């Protein structure tokens, strides 16, 4: 008997459904990987480890304007600008040379390979001095920037992270080698003349007057007297709270990029007794800092650029920033990029080549509140609230450009495009029909008045379906866009997002229902099925035979290969608030997650597929 019971229990155990682990949700959108900065006149140049060179207008420090992004083949670590030429240390791709005279037309004009990993660079006259990490120091002749010539290479004791030039000497932050002093009188034959090994784990160096200020990752700030370069002498030292990665000196203060401990403002009026005057923690990890006037600009790694008011060094505070900001309302994925209608921040491009770690690439600021997004091969159509419609050429994801637009009279929330006609859900005004055959100069064709403000639009074989809340679902004949005509009206309470599969429409209705509607005859549509869920529906998304029904906190998945017999297959919880979703080519679920930007539910390409049938 005991054996029979044991066998029965084993059998029951084996036939239980196997519950898969919940899918992992990727990190919130990163503001890029801001690495190093350079300030010149009204421009701030940022090299982003992931997305190349970015140029900003900082005429008004509290309102940075992103001008352009030049993608480099490597992972840039350093930047120096002289005579409208930018020199970028591009890691394993050596030195990239760019013409930035017109920031909007910036382009790579030259390159020279280095033996190591090109990090921080400094330019003096016709020579570029490259801290080449494991490759030591490289000296490059750029008399003709389009044809740079590698003159020499100097092997350093320790990895060359940073470099600064003073007179006939290059001072090298050489990691475990400390600070090295290299004679560069003959750039073809650089020669080590002295060192200061106590500044161990040196990553950056800044020279002012007769002092070298060295940022040491583990030991903090070292102040070294270099009046006699042959005999550098330590005069001051301060252990910072974090890990010093960058340093800049202005007036009587040294500003230290202290990694996870933010920005440290250090009084160095007495070099022998440096003391922390003020500090500021940031949302990211501070890698570099530059100061001009009352403002410090910091490269805050995953949080992009931050602008800090340091008029009172004892109480620095953040006044502006640039990276991933805004509120993700709508999104679209294509290849390795996601495109987001991002509220007040306009149109944003996110790199999703690693879905678990989406990374900001660039932002195109737009007037209005970007809410709805429709993508075509190279054009994006953005419904932007009281600013109407924007049309963007995104053929180069790193340099999206607004090429046209139409200011609608209402509040544009959604847009769909059919051929040369754009249909815009324009709030209480109804639907605006705009001719976009000339993208640079769209023009109004007609206005279709709706009973309530449109909540969603979708196109189907010469018809426009308009979800109108308590007014139901309206089907409009748009065979002649200039003369739209109602074909039918389906009464439903709280009609919201709608999607179409073959001759069936899925329409959200009320709190927890999706109606399946037969639209084979657009003039006589009828409900044939209802799908109920136990949560408040925010929206739906359809890909192939899979219908995704989501609330702000969860996503339910239904197989609708037979729309008359929908089958629940999975349900996933999310960690944040969802505005909308899309499913990528990789079958991961991409979430427009409001203030958290883009997040990815890793359900595709072998990832966990759910937590069992609900």
pLDDT of amino acid 344: 85
pLDDT of amino acid 84: 97
| End-to-end C-alpha distance for the chain, whole angstroms | 36
pLDDT of amino acid 605: 58
104's torsion region: left (phi>0), alpha (psi -120 to 50) or beta?
alpha
d(CA 147, CA 590): 44
Residues of the chain with pLDDT under 50: 1-20, 606-614
pLDDT of amino acid 9: 34
**Contact assessment for residue 467 and residue 460, using Cβ atoms and an 8 Å cutoff:** no
**Contact assessment for residue 589 and residue 337, using Cβ atoms and an 8 Å cutoff:** no
What residue segments make up the domains of the chain, in order of their start? 33-155, 533-614
Among residues 462, 461, 408, the alpha carbon closest in space to that of 433 is found at: 408
Name the E strands within 270-411: 275-280, 288-292, 295-299, 305-309, 317-322, 330-334, 337-341, 347-351, 359-364, 372-375, 379-383, 389-393, 401-406
pLDDT of amino acid 325: 66
> From 2.60.40, 1.10.10, 1.10.287, 2.40.10, which CATH number describes the 533-614 domain?
2.40.10
pLDDT of amino acid 608: 36
**Contact assessment for residue 247 and residue 205, using Cβ atoms and an 8 Å cutoff:** yes
One fold for 33-155 and 533-614? no
d(CA 310, CA 316): 5
Into which CATH architecture does domain 33-155 fall? Answer: 6 Propeller (2.120)
Q: pLDDT tens across 403-448, in order?
A: 999 999 999 999 999 999 999 999 999 999 999 999 999 999 999 9
């Amino acid at each position: 008997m005991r054996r029979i019971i044991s066998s029965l229990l084993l059998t029951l155990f084996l036939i239980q459904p196997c519950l898969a682990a919940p899918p992992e949700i990727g990190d919130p959108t990163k503001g890029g990987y801001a690495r190093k900065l350079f300030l010149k006149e009204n421009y701030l140049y940022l090299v982003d480890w992931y997305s190349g060179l970015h140029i900003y207008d900082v005429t008004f420090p509290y309102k940075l304007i992103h001008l352009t992004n030049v993608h480099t083949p490597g992972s840039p670590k350093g930047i120096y600008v002289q005579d409208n030429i930018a020199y970028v240390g591009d890691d394993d791709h050596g030195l990239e040379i760019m013409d930035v005279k017109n920031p909007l037309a910036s382009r790579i004009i030259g390159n020279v390979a280095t033996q190591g990993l090109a990090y921080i660079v400094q330019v003096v006259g016709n020579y570029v001095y490259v801290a080449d990490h494991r490759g030591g120091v490289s000296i490059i002749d750029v008399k003709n920037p389009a044809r740079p010539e590698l003159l020499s290479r100097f092997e350093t004791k320790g990895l060359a992270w940073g470099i600064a030039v003073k007179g006939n000497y290059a001072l090298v932050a050489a990691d475990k080698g400390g600070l090295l002093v290299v004679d560069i009188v003959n750039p073809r034959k650089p020669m080590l003349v002295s060192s200061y090994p106590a500044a161990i784990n040196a990553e950056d160096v800044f020279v002012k007057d007769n002092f070298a200020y060295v940022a040491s990752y583990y030991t903090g700030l070292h102040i070294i007297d270099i009046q006699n370069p042959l005999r550098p002498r330590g005069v001051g030292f301060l252990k910072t709270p974090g890990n010093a990665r960058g340093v800049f000196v202005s007036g009587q203060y040294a500003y230290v990029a202290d990694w996870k401990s933010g920005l440290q403002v250090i009084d160095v009026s007495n070099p022998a007794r440096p003391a922390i005057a003020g500090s500021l923690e940031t949302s990211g990890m501070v890698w570099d800092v530059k100061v001009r006037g009352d403002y410090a600009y910091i490269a805050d790694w995953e949080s992009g650029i931050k602008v800090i008011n340091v008029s009172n060094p004892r109480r620095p505070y953040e006044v502006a920033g640039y990276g991933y900001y805004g509120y993700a309302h709508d999104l679209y994925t294509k290849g390795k990029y996601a495109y987001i209608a991002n509220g007040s921040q306009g149109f944003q491009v996110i790199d999703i080549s690693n879905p678990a770690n989406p990374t900001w690439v660039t932002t195109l600021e737009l007037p209005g509140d970007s809410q709805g997004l429709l993508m075509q091969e190279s054009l994006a159509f953005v419904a932007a609230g009281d600013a109407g419609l924007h049309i963007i050429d995104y053929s180069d994801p790193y340099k999206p450009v607004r090429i046209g637009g139409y200011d609608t009279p209402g509040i544009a929330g959604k847009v769909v495009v059919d051929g040369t006609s754009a249909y815009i859900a324009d709030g209480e005004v109804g639907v605006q029909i705009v001719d976009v055959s000339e993208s640079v100069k769209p023009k109004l064709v007609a206005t279709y008045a709706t009973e309530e403000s449109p909540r969603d639009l979708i196109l189907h074989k010469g018809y426009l379906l308009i979800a109108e809340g308590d007014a139901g679902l309206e089907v409009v004949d748009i065979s002649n866009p200039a003369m739209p005509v109602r074909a039918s009206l389906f009464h439903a309470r709280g009609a919201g997002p709608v999607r179409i599969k073959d001759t069936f429409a899925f329409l959200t209705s009320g709190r927890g229902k999706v109606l399946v509607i037969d639209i084979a005859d657009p003039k006589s549509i009828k409900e044939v099925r209802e799908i109920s869920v136990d949560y408040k529906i925010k929206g739906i998304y359809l890909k192939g035979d899979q219908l995704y029904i989501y609330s702000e906190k969860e996503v339910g998945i239904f197989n609708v290969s037979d729309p008359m017999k929908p089958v629940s297959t999975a349900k996933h919880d999310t960690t944040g608030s969802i505005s909308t979703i899309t499913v990528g080519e990789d079958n991961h679920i991409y979430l427009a997650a409001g203030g958290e930007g883009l997040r990815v539910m890793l359900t595709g390409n072998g990832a966990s597929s759910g937590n069992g049938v609900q």
